[in-house]
Structure 1
Amino acid sequence: MEIQRVNNEDLTAITDLVEAVSKVAVLPHFNEQGKQEYIARVLPDIKTTFDNDDFVTVKAVSNNTLLGFAAMRGGNYLTHLFVSHQTQGRGIGQTLLQYLLDSTDAQEIKLRSAVNAIDFYLKHGFEITEQEGEFNGIRFVPMSLIRSTLS
């Protein structure tokens, strides 16, 4: 498996991956309003992470097959982390996360976790910073990773 920077030719495949994972793992946790809002906002938002100097956007690939996608904004805010449903549990998410963490020296990394991903982030050192929130039916849990200043 390789971690590579995304390019514009990856947009369709990554959008398809995010949509497929979302249908199985994310959307079932939302009400109808949340599902519509997610489809209208989150999927089109993927494009904003491409060719944007404020984002580090990467993909996990093996034998020309897309396995996962992740993006971090401003060096301190994880905006996306998706792994193909068929390959979850094989360390791909951890590898993508570690790549992004290694790309920044920020002391604190924040994110809004999908309800289904809380345990993944807790396992990797993130802590819940606020109670579950909701925006137009999209449920999320604010989380943060504080990194030690000791090297």
Structure 2
Amino acid sequence: MLIRPFESTDIPAAADVLRRAAETFILHESTPEHAANFLAEHDAAALRRNVDADFLYHAAVVDGVLAGFIGVRGGTHLFHLFVDAAYQRRGIARALWEVARAAALRPGHPGVFTVNASNVAVPFYASLGFERTAPMQEASVRYNPMRLVVAGSVPLVGAA
């Protein structure tokens, strides 16, 4: 497995991984209208906008295939973390997180990360040290606000 910075050529494959994972693990809890909205808000064009807006993305490549990817907004919010079902349970999501976390933790970082975890992903994020900060919410999808304070850091007052 190779984890490397995202390349623009990764966007179509990443959008496919995201769509398949969302359809399998997330969107079954949403109305058809909300599911369609979610997919439209997270398609290849949206990924391109995120990359152009300086979200920090990394790709996990296995045997030349994009197996998963991670995107962090503003250095503190884990915005995307998806691994194709064919590559799950191999440590890819954890490895992506470790690389993205290390890349984000630069001088001046508040030492706090947030994520809006799907119901199925809550145990995984808890295994990384994230804790729920509020009950499950619902917008176009159901999600659980979670937060991780990096060991040894002192979160800024009001850091979410």
Shift of 1:48: 2.1
> In structure 2, what residue type is equivalent to 1:139?
R
Matches for 1:57-68 after TM superposition, within 5 Å = 57-68=57-68
Instruction: Tell me the residue number matched to 1:50.
Output: 51
Matched, 1:121 2:125: yes
Alignment of 1:25-44 (within 5 A): 25-43=25-43, 44=45
| 1:11 positional shift | 1.2
**Residue 12 of structure 1 pairs with residue 12 of structure 2:** yes
**Alignment identity in percent?**
27
- Determine the structure 2 residue equivalent to 1:132: 136
Instruction: Give structure 2 stretches of 5+ with no counterpart.
Output: 154-160
Give the TM-score normalised by structure 1: 0.91
Structure 2 residue corresponding to 1:149, chosen from 147, 152, 157: 152
Shift of 1:33: 3.1
Q: Write the deviation string for residues 8-64 of structure 1: whole angstroms up to 9, x where unpaired.
A: 1111111111111111111112122321221221224322222433x2101000221
State the aligned residue count: 148
Amino acid in structure 2 at the alignment position of 1:143: M
Secondary structure in structure 2 of the residue aligned to 1:50:
helix
- SS of residue paired to 2:53: coil
Contact 2:26–2:141 under 8 Å retained in 1: no
Deviation at 1:85, TM superposition (A): 0.4
Aligned equivalents of 1:47, 1:82: Cα separation in 2:
16
Paired residue type of 1:149: G
5+ unaligned residues in a row in structure 1: which ranges?
none
Q: CA RMSD in A?
A: 1.4
8 Å CA contact 1:3–1:59 kept in 2: the answer is yes
Amino acid at match of 2:87: T
Give distance in 1, aligned partners of 2:63 and 2:141.
Answer: 35
- TM-score scaled by structure 2? 0.86
Residue 91 of structure 1: CA displacement?
0.2
User: Which residue, out of 112, 116, 130, partners 2:116?
Assistant: 112
